[in-house]
Structure 1
Amino acid sequence: MMRILLLISVFLCGCSTGLKTVSTASYPTKNMLQKLHFAQKYLALSSHHQAGEILTSFTNNEVAYLDKHSLDYARLKGVYLTQIRQFSSAQNHYKKMLEIHQNDAVLLNNFGILLLNFHLFDEACEYFKKAVLLSSQNSFSGLINLSRCELGLKNVDMASLYLKRAKEINNLPYIGLLTELNLALILGDLSGARQSYNKIQAEQKIAPYIEHRNEYECLLLQYNAAELDSTYYSSSRPPFACVVQGIEYGIWNSRKQ
């Protein structure tokens, strides 16, 4: 599978690693906190080897403590395992951590992103919904991921609703703009598609988004087809649309004119 749409504060849409370590009389030590700080920096730079060396350097006693009390360790390890494509280990990690930190919106959101990689849309949507409900700010990234999850289930109306709610909170990031273009093409809204496309092109000039390359190229084909023959495109609504990670899911029959 492709690299997952991780939206941590420094990565892609949705996944976050905001540090919130809980302290006790003897833990965490300054050394432990420094290690976690550097692990976060390395992950932000996609320096997986260095991040992995740090995360595996903790003693068994330290890991036992961190598992129970450190949200940053739980989040960082989940992101690390996902980025190095150890999906099974990442899934087990998130399940274990969510037994301990049941109401952490970041872990819920990040686990949902992992599940999208397996096309487990129903399960992923449930985690995103819980993350949105638990977030004091209605989880901006959670709403975007929930919109994408609903697209995976072909629930276009719900996908549109969640993306609209996200736009009311803030300007859409790159992954949100791809989702917006996807929805516009499915709905035959060529004017809206042009607006989204122009915003995406502006973002591409600032920095290329390698992680979403397949999805971008898939949407670009659809956008160009719509511009070349808008009448045919509108009547077919469209031949296919690019959902999560540029996956094709067939003709959207229910949206034909």
Structure 2
Amino acid sequence: MLLAFDVGNSNIVLGVFKDNELITHWRMATDNAKSADEIGIFVNQLFAYENLSLKDVDDVIISSVVPHVMYSLQHMSSKYCEREAIVIGPGIKTGMNIKYDNPRQVGADRIVNAVAGFKKFGGPIIIVDFGTATTFCAINEKCEYLGGAILPGIKISSDALFQRAAKLTHVELVKPDKVICKNTTQSIQAGIIYGYVGSVDYLVAKMKEELGGGDIKVIATGGLATLISTESDSIDHVERFLTLEGLNFIYHMNRTKK
């Protein structure tokens, strides 16, 4: 079995692959203060709940945008899985040609998504990942990562509104039926959600224009992908576990390097 970690600023998503199939997955809060033992014991409990054993893990692979978590995760892998984790970064084979000015500045999750998106859909494609930040990535038909855009995530945007506007309170992120709303709660919901949909569609349209138009698929992933995609005119597919699938693909490219 392969244990894959997708470490984001807000959450860590864990997935277990067996024979290239994602057999189970979990989500936990990202906590820089957790030790390797705390993480190991927690993951062991998750495995036990699914009648799995850490002893059956053949390899561990990690994609992370949070450097402070890496020591604990790598130590956890060594102690509890008895495996040296594969970490997405320089020296790891991805099959993707990075056209960024400085390839080291591209987040590991963006590269992993790009690999999975191209593997599943070919190119050109645009991948929109709705995480703490929302990232837009363009990949051409030659499997070249061209770059993209970064937008504050929908939760960051809404939190900023509530912190700065004293009379506005937190609301649940659900879609109201209308944009012209008759109460403050729904007015906030309409502004946040439909306004965000508009931002996504505009950025995607600009990226398609810069890519030269044509048949360009748009893939959405991340925790809020479904919420936005149901209203968006630009999103073609929602792939909830795109990053985990990308980690599985990259693992198989690199497993002979252990």
Q: Greater strand share, 1 or 2?
A: 2
Superposed pair shares fold, TM > 0.5: no
TM-score of the superposed pair, with normalisation by structure 2: 0.27
TM-score of the superposed pair, with normalisation by structure 1: 0.27
Q: Greater helix share, 1 or 2?
A: 1
